Amino acid sequence: MSGSISDMTIEQQIGQLFMVGFTGTEPTPEIVELIQRRHVGGIILFSRNCRDARQVSTLTHDLQAVARAAGHPYPLLISLDQENGLVRRLGNAVTGFPGNMALGATGAEDLTYAVAEATGQELLALGINMNLAPDADVNNNPANPVIGVRSFGEDPQRVARFVAAAVRGYRAAGTISTLKHFPGHGDTSVDSHLGLPIVPHTLERLERVELPPFRAGIAAGADTVMLAHLRLPTIAPDEDVPTSISPTVVRLLRESLGFNSVIITDCLEMDAISQTVGEERGALLGLRAGADIILISHRIVPQRGAIEMVRAAVESGELAEDTIHQAAARVLRLKERLLAWDALPPLATGATVSTAAHQQLRDRAYARSTTCVRDDAHLLPLRLDPAAEVLVIAQPPTSVTKAIDTVYRHEILVERIRAYHPNVRGVCLSPDAAENDIAALLHAAESSDILIMATINAHLDPPQASLMRRLLATARPVIGIAVCNPYDVAVVPDLKTYLATYEYTEPALSMAAGALFGAFEPQGRLPVTLMSHPA
């Protein structure tokens, strides 16, 4: 291939319009075949592909070597969802920075810029040139099961400022950024991994609430925008398809928001597409609607099938060649920004991309995000007799969104609290625990001096809320720590002392323990509103 679409076959151009994923920590025969024979121009990585910094660097280098040998005009787009916080794919291979809502709680746009810049620098050092971030959704629906702490907050103008700061940070690092999930996934109560959320709002409402962060991100120089899987019956009443493959929504983005760069769909294997129009047909409809990159993250069968269906549609005239030309031209213009093929050799064994400066930035950001929502019981900071017994309780939820692929370990919180007070016992109760197990826990609680319960989305998970109320009934002092969405206290209004960390990452839990024992003063401020409601 050359760097001009005029010198590329239609098959080569079609391949540049697909971003695909695979399983494993080395290039598989299937992914090699997609790059070599089907000319696929984009790769998405997940935690399943990432073991450590050296391995990730070698993987991206090897993938690029396959593309270069196959004659691709520019390097592959290699992307992932490194939103930070709970949605992160690289584990300890990079610095673990706070996610969006934690950064929103700091109130500091300069911190958000710095975190995005540092994140982008570390991604590039690993050979990852595109981040599917920042999330530009306005989370104004506490029942939202998929966005929540991935959002900077509930105020559209405030979210817009933080989104713009993040985009500028990624641009400073030289990393391609992606605004998502257009036109706004914040006011839904259905996870699009599992169904098709319906957003009944008018265009006037979208302009007032959902769209300001996208406008701000585009003005700040966002490189790509990801289309959400939603249904907008008021905006597109005649289109019985999700927004990710909607011509009306693409026109809104192109014409009303003036976005002229690359549009990418969310993954077509999510149920909102796979259980409706299907991945293959969805790819065709997405390109026909005006999307530039089709994302199929996991399985080889729909990846191959979608490419073949698009090629057949062009041959039959169902899909205009000019549509392919325009999309390929936008993708290649984006790729012109990428570093040269040989700019980043693999890291040496034992090398790291995390720096002391980035670790200090991480600690500063987490310290500023930790939030004491209230302490009406005046329990903080804890001043305990050395013999006092502390019981730390966790009851993980029955499910979290598939966007999160990190597992909560309550032992981390126990270990961090034990660093301040030695007499600590931790209990993790199964979500389907039998009544005798709960009774045993309550018996242990009654003989403890203070109870600390970590909750994950208890406002959406009645068993957790019920357990918290039963702990309060023991009349022992109880402290709650929301280690995901901060709305949990709304379902337990009698809880008098309550911290929010916005995530259950190790640094967030470390800061929570420090705040409990007065190692520092929590400085965070809630970026969302809490209202009491039953659970």
Alpha-carbon dihedral of residues 247, 253, 258, 260, nearest 10 degrees? -70
Q: DSSP 3-state assignment of 144?
A: coil
Q: DSSP 3-state assignment of 84?
A: strand
Encoding tokens for residue 415? Answer: 């270990």
Encoding tokens for residue 289? Answer: 């609607």
The reply to whether 135 belongs to the active site is: no
Cross-strand partners of 424: 390
Question: From the DSSP assignment, how many helices (H) and strands (E) are in the chain?
Answer: 18, 14
Cα–Cα distance for residue pair 229/122, rounded to 1 Å: 30
**Catalytic-labelled residue, pool 193, 271, 375, 449:** 193
> What are the DSSP calls for 378-440, one per residue?
--PSP---TT--EEEEE---S---TT------HHHHHHHHHTT-S-EEEEE--TT--HHHHHH
My answer on whether omega of the bond before 397 falls inside 30° of 0, hence cis, is: no
The reply to whether 325 belongs to the active site is: no
Q: Is 182 in contact with 135 (CB distance < 8 Å)?
A: no
Phi and psi of 341, rounded to 5°? -50, -45
Contacting residues for 242 by C-beta, under 8 A, at least 6 apart: 196, 228, 229, 230, 231, 272, 273, 276, 277
Residue 522 sits at the vertex; the CA angle it makes with 519 and 525, to the nearest 5 degrees, is 170
Type of residue numbered 298: H
Cα–Cα distance for residue pair 463/461, rounded to 1 Å: 6
Residue 464 exposure: Cα atoms within 13 Å on the Cβ side: 26
Distances (CA, A) of 179 to 102, 133, 207, 283, 488: 18, 6, 16, 20, 28
Helix, strand, coil in percent for the chain, rounding step 5: 40, 10, 45
Contacting residues for 265 by C-beta, under 8 A, at least 6 apart: 226, 227, 244, 245, 282, 286, 291, 293, 294, 295
My answer on whether omega of the bond before 522 falls inside 30° of 0, hence cis, is: no
Cα–Cα distance for residue pair 404/401, rounded to 1 Å: 6
The residue among 119, 137, 112 whose CA lies nearest residue 176 is 119
**Catalytic-labelled residue, pool 52, 137, 187, 266:** 266
What's the chain's Rg over C-alpha atoms?
24
Residue in the block written with tokens 């790769």: 43
Cross-strand partners of 87: 84
Q: DSSP 3-state assignment of 342?
A: coil
Catalytic residue set: 193, 266
